[in-house]
Amino acid sequence: MTLSQSPYEELILNNPTFRARYDRIMGELLNGPMQIDAQIAFLNDLESPLSSALVADPNNNIDDNVSERFDSLRQWVSGRVININQQLAD
């Protein structure tokens, strides 16, 4: 697989000074307010009050599977945070 960089990535993330700051900030966020448990707790808090509204919304594309969609979001968040932490460790 070939990876390519956008102009943003080339200019900012390839600059050692900016990259170090970016990595530090992302690390602090993912080990603090955006850690996996906090993000999953946020989704858990949203699920109950939003479920009936999402099911009733005629424009939704998830039908009655709101619970499955929230489960999918929780899994995605967990995987994404793990992936970013791995990238920061490299």
pLDDT tens, position by position, 17-50? 998 999 999 999 999 999 999 999 999 999 999 9
The answer to whether 71 and 47 have CB atoms below 8 angstroms apart is: no
Q: Which helix (H) or strand (E) holds 28?
A: helix 16-30
Distance separating alpha carbons of residues 84 and 31, to the nearest angstrom: 11
Q: pTM score, two decimals? A: 0.76
User: 56-88 pLDDT, tens per residue?
Assistant: 888 877 766 889 999 999 999 999 999 999 988
Q: Which helix (H) or strand (E) holds 82?
A: helix 66-89
